[in-house]
Every structure is written in C-alpha cells, then in structure tokens.
Structure 1
C-alpha cells in the first residue's frame, strides 16, 4: 500500500457516508436521488423499469455480478460529501501515515499509535 492510497482511503472514510449494503437499499437510494423515477434508474443501470421496482420492494435480493458493480459505482457517485473536522482530518492523515510509513502495512510496529498535533501545514509530493 502506498501513502497516496492510504490517504485516499482515510480521507474517503472521513468525508463520505457509508454506502448502503443491500441491493434493495442501493436501488432505493438511487431512486430517491432521481426524484422517484424508477425509469431513470432503470436506464442508468441498463435494466427494465420492472426490475428496478422489484429491487425497491426487495423481491430480488442478489443482482448479477456486473449489475452489482454498476449499482455500487452509481451509489458511490451519488454519495453525499460530509464535512470532517480538522481533528478528523488530522487523525485520518495520522492513521494513513502510521499504516504505510511506520507500521509498513502490518509488518512492524503493530501497537504504534501516530498522532499529529499542532500542524500548521503539511505537504506531500508523490
């Protein structure tokens, strides 16, 4: 794992809400984002409107692999951004640096806790 990947993952966790887990919840979320239009969601996912309605009612539980990937990608695209506090940003950065640089992705310093304090500016070049 690289510092870039660790920071990206940590910051994504600090800035976005969790993606709905079940297929039905994902489709309901997409329908809500498209102002209740099952037709728009069906076109987006490449399935019939009736299929979308079945997912909304939890009549279908497990999508095909390629449809599951499309659903997850679309839900992630629509995920709302939430503001993280400065403290959360410091902690996300410290966690990423600790994991990649100090703990070497779990190969050393397992119990090391990294904390960034009194940071005015930090710059990374990759």
Structure 2
C-alpha cells in the first residue's frame, strides 16, 4: 500500500449517526485506550491477532500496524488517528453498549436534544417552519427503530424521517393528545445529541 493510500480521508458520518455513536460512548464504564499503541493492541485482540485484517480495516499497510504494535511509531496522522479512535470505540465494551441499547429499545427510550429547522404539514396549521431547539424524550418504540436502522447501516438521510416522527410524537403532538395529523419535517440539523 502506498503512502498516498494511507492518507485518504476517512468518510464523515452524518450528524445523527455521530450523535448515536457519542451516546454509546457516554455509557462506557471504563475509558477506552487512548494511545495508538494501546488502541492497536486492543484492536488486534478483537481481530484475533490478524495484522492483515486490522490493516485492511484501518486502511493502512500491515507493516504500519506492526510498527504501532511494537511502539516504533507513536503519533499517527489525523486520518489514521481518527480511524483508530472510531474503531476502538466501536469495539469497546460491547456488552455495556448492548445493555444500554436494549434498555432504550424496550423500556426507557432515549432523550434527544436537537437544533434544527422544523417545517410542518397539517390542516389549518398557522405555525410556520423555523429553527427550533428541542429537548424531548423518544419512546422505546422509536428508539428501537432508530437503533435497528443504525445497526442495519442506514444513512443519516434514512434516519431523518424516523427521528422527525419520534420528535413529532413526543414534542409536537404530545403522544397524540393534540395537533392530530401534524407532520414535522426535520431539516438543516445544526446539532443533535442522544442520551440512553
């Protein structure tokens, strides 16, 4: 693998997917490894010691993985550092994350804080669309759907309508007690955070 291949940028995740990953990181009971050497060693245990598999996963050469494991290299370039952090955190404490996800999907739901533009569709609505800051719970039913879609590899644009429906249900229609038939469209997300 050439140096050019090793310097390709990591594809960015959308805001919703990143917010879900952040929510998972908040449930860790111990901090994930921070140094490149510790991250590589941890990821190698998850890859059953295969430097080839880890190299492919990180988008680097096998020799690069071996040099980080041996401590010959210590400070990765930004792209590799981002990949190490992302891969380590995605593999870190899987049982803790699974328990938090299961609880959100079956009993507690999630909280969402979002700053976004909400447009509305309803009969007789006089509330024009505008940017809003909203903090509201998401029911376990919607939490389960959001987490299922995330697990299935959904994109941010595929998650937008489900998140919009969840927010509409809890915030705008208050669980179906007002504004029947209202539909809110979530666009131009400035920031979003989830909490299990």
Distance 2:84 2:22 in 1: 20
Answer yes or no: is the 8 Å Cα contact 1:54–1:60 preserved in 2. Answer: yes
CA distance in 2, matches of 1:74, 1:34: 11
Shift of 1:14: 2.9
1:30 to 43, 46, 50: 43
TM-score, with normalisation over the residues of structure 2?
0.38
Give 1:58 deviation, angstroms. Answer: 0.9
Instruction: Indicate the SS of the match to 1:69.
Output: helix
**Higher share in helix:** 1
Higher relative contact order (CA 8 A, sep 6+): 1
| Structure 2: gaps of 5 or more residues | 1-18, 101-109, 114-136, 139-165, 168-196
Q: Please name the residue that 1:51 is paired with.
A: 64
Deviation string, structure 1 residues 81-114 (Cα, Å, up to 9, x no partner)? 3257xxxxxxxx9xx9xxx9xxxxxxxxxxxxxx
Q: Match for 2:82 among 26, 46, 69?
A: 69
Runs of 4+ aligned residues of structure 1 deviating over 6 Å after TM superposition are none
Q: Provide the secondary structure at the position in 1 that maps to 2:68.
A: helix
What residue number does 1:107 align with? none
- Deviations along 1:60-96, one digit per CA (max 9) or x if unpaired, are 0000001100111111111123257xxxxxxxx9xx9
Unaligned stretches of 5+ residues in structure 1: 1-5, 85-92, 101-122
Q: Say which SS state the counterpart of residue 63 (structure 1) adopts.
A: coil
Pairwise CA RMSD: 3.2
Partner SS for 2:26? helix
> What is the aligned partner in structure 2 of residue 108 from structure 1?
none
